[in-house]
A = this chain, B = another copy of it.
Amino acid sequence: MPDSSSKYSSSKLWGGRFSEQTAASVEAFTASIHFDARLYRHDITGSMAHAKMLARQGLITGEERDQIIKGLDSIGKEIESGAFVFRPELEDIHMNIEKALIEKIGPAGEKLHTARSRNDQISLDIRLYLREETYRITDLLTGLQKSFVRTARKYLGAIMPGYTHLQRAQPVLVSHHMLAYYEMFGRDKERLFDCLKRINIMPLGSAALAGTGLPVDRDFVARELDFPAITANSMDKVGDRDFAVEFVSACTLIQIHLSRLSEELVLWSSDEFSFVNLADSYCTGSSIMPQKKNPDIPELIRGKSGRVTGNLISLITMLKGLPLTYNRDLQEDKEPIFDTADTVSHSLAIMAELLDNLEFNLEILQNRVKTGFMTATDLADYLVLKQIPFRKAHSIVGRAVAHCLDNGKDLSELTLDELKGFSSVIEDDIFSLLTVKGSVDSRQSAGGTSIKSVKQALSEAEKILELKP
């Protein structure tokens, strides 16, 4: 072997052509093992399937395949037990495992990387990871939906103020409010399942960027790893992190939904609202004010919407302006993905617990719906049914409200004569309508808050979630 014997010989698996050792600062700066070690299971699973394929295609022997699989299995166990020592100078999880395999089983280990690149591997590993996380998060979404449905069932019939602009607007069923969140988090599941279609495609076989000249069988690997399809273009695949952006984007909406729910829980547990009691075990106190009991969980969840939105921006900014195929910038994809999956999972799990430990103060809710002219729309609708054009009806009721404000009364406290002063068509059938219960019961449009509509929505939700009423 000519002329390079006297030179520095790199210990890197890729170091053949290099004549200087990698600077220590460079190793520290570029290493990803401190965060991608988390992908060890997916890396090993992928390598096992790859080895089976190599053997099937005659690129390694059956014996070599068995050695590789046994070696990988034992490395997996070492990692799980904590016995495995990760080496930053080996950069990433792929190289750490491959090097350990070579040390363990010798030459057969040196064949594992045949017909694949790390660009392949990391794309596969992230897809396997995100597939798992998608199922985990959709399960957690289902869990949270169940909490809402149980709460809706528990409080069926209870009425609370409905707000727009945080001003009391119309009375609604507590259960209707709960089912609004059931719908919202249901959309999040749909979105994740749609995203899964684009995650769940097998990338291995693209090699560095151009495909491989060795006779691989990509469909076999896909079947082994339970992927319904393989990626269609090697250059596209190697630089594609769209599925990660889409996953984090769907998660951002989940966390934003949680922030809206959290805002309501913080409001509702304030002294002014006092709509709910959070269990002591779900609150914390103050280091200085002995009387405090704080809704830390919803506050933190609300705050974490910043974190997930930040992760989304990290990924998008990372991708902006990158030429095709692999650029090292893409290494920055993993931490935002991991942090997003963790944040959203933990937030969903604890929010479901919190809801299961939440008590509504029914007496307070009952008192709050009595004021605020919340049946004003009902009066307007009444006039409409008496043939008064809606705009006129709206104006008539507006004046009646102004009159009430001036005189410190509620609409339901006006006499029939007073009411007739605003519109002569008003009869005494109006009074049942101006009650809160009458108002709620009337909203029988599909998706409305009447007990009838809500019962139907609740039953459907219970059926879908396989919950017993």
Contacts and interface: CB of A to CB of B under 8 A. Distances in A.
A49 to B, nearest CB: 16
Contacts of A249: 246, 249
The oligomer's copy count stands at: 4
Given A320-B320, A322-B260, A449-B234, A13 B287 contact: yes
A304 B216 CA distance: 35
Contact of A219 (B115, B304, B442, B446): B446
Contacts of A114: 384, 389-390
A48 interface: no
Contact of A318 (B290, B306, B326, B336): B306
Contact of A305 (B110, B317, B402): B317
A164 B327 contact: yes
A388 B147 CA distance: 46
Interface in A300-356: 300, 302-307, 309-332, 335-336, 346, 349-350, 353
Central interface residue in A280, A296, A446, by most chain B CB within 10 Å: A446
Interface stretch (A17-25, A75-83, A123-131, A137-145): A17-25
A118 interface: yes
Contacts of A102: 391
A4 B165 contact: no
Contacts of A353: 23, 25
Given A20-B279, A169-B289, A377-B290, A321 B297 contact: no
A231 interface: yes
Interface string A448-461: 11100100010000
B285 A14 contact: yes
Interface in A371-404: 371-374, 376-381, 384-385, 389-392, 394-403
B20 A235 contact: no
Contacts of A280: 18-20
A391 B13 contact: yes
Interface residues of A, number: 215
Given A15-B285, A302-B329, A349 B448 contact: no
A52 interface: no
A184 B324 CA distance: 10
Contacts of A294: 164-165, 167, 328
A273 interface: yes
A218 to B, nearest CB: 5
A190 interface: yes
Given A165-B328, A392-B110, A403-B3, A457 B233 contact: yes
A180 interface: yes
B399 A293 contact: no
B402 A17 contact: yes
Nearest to A21: B281
B322 A289 contact: no
B212 A165 contact: no
